[in-house]
Every structure is written in structure tokens, then in C-alpha cells.
A = this chain, B = another copy of it.
Amino acid sequence: MIAVMPSDDLARHLDFLREIDRLKSVQRRTALVDRSRLENSAEHSWHAAVAALVLAGQAPAGIDIAHVVRILLVHDLVEVDAGDTFAYDPAAQHDKAARERAAADRLFGLLPAGPGAHVRAWWEEFEAGQTREAMMANALDRFAGLLQNWGGGDGGTWRHHGVTREMVMARMEPIRTGLPALWDTVVAIVDEATAAGHLQVEG
């Protein structure tokens, strides 16, 4: 179908860029703030990366924000093959790692070796969550979901799935260490959502 092959190296970049267009069709369980539809993983990645830029002043001292942005831009790419796994579905979480690793092999392998290795390293850094930049990226990824569900004032998709206050607090835990300046805000939002009846309370 597509015959243009400017150079093998550039052609592989174009294959990759065309392939990852599919992330725009991977639906998450969170809705847009205006609730017109569910959001997709591509626009979510954009929003989290912008959040990293504007919240740079809230980050722990010495963090490389540009690297946090890089990590966030590629953190969901494997969903092109593996799909989005609902955070509050233990069964789907079970084989998530294996599905995503196979996706990484195929997808990052489309790129030439150099850029392919970079993208893979950033994704693996996010998954491992050990560096301070990966911890902040994980915090912002979690915070994005909180912001979407809370931002519309109606509890968003939490209510449809019977999500509890305890489940949300456990999911938000990476923010405590990854972006501690936001932690009081997280607790305040969860308290407000609980008081409004948007989150159930266990026991």
C-alpha cells in the first residue's frame, strides 16, 4: 500500500509513528471532565506530560522534569497491543506484565536499534518505578485519573464500578513518595468525594 521508502532508517521511524497512532483508539475507564466520552490513552499521556511541566515547581528538588515528560509520553505505548487494563480489576492485572512485555518487543522493535532502545528503557524505567523521575511519572499517572473522576463533580466512573475510598487511597499511594507536595490535595479530594457519596466506604 505504501511504497515510499526514503531510507531504511527513516522508513522504520515512519512505521513506528503510524503504528502508535492506534493508541488514540485505546479507551481508558475514565471519562473526559465534561463526561462526553471516555478518554483514550494518547490524550491521557499528553495531559499527564503537561501536568509534569506545569507542576515542575512542586517536584522534589533536583528532579529532571524533561525526563519525567519523556517517561510519561511513552508509558502507555504498549497498550497499542495489550490494551488498557482497568486499575480496579484484579483478574486483568494478573497477566498484564506478560501481555505488555510482548507488546514492547514488537512495538519498540519497529524502530531502528538506537531510538528503540531509548523508548524501551524509558518504558521499563516507568514500570520499575525505582528512579525519582519514574516515581514522579507514576504519581502523575495516578493523579490524572483522580483529576478526571473528581474534576467533573459527579464522581465519574468510580460510581459505575463501585470503587471504594480504600481502593482509591491504595491506588494513589505512589503520590505520597513520588510527588509528596500533592499528597494533602489527594486526601482532601478523596475526603470530599467520600462525603459526596461518590466513593463507597468498606466494612
Contacts and interface: CB of A to CB of B under 8 A. Distances in A.
Interface of A: 1-4, 6, 10, 13-14, 16-18, 20-25, 32-34, 36, 39-40, 42-43, 45-47, 49-51, 53-58, 66, 69-70, 73-74, 111, 114-115, 118-119, 147-148, 150-151, 153, 181-182, 184-185, 188-189, 192
A150 B161 CA distance: 40
Nearest to A195: B3
Contacts of A36: 25
Nearest to A16: B54
Contact of A25 (B32, B148, B184): B32
Which secondary structure dominates chain A's binding surface?
helix
A46 to B, nearest CB: 4
24 contacts: A2-B153, A4-B189, A6-B185, A17-B47, A17-B54, A17-B147, A18-B147, A21-B33, A21-B151, A22-B34, A24-B39, A25-B32, A25-B36, A40-B43, A42-B46, A42-B47, A43-B46, A46-B49, A50-B74, A53-B70, A53-B74, A54-B119, A66-B66, A69-B73
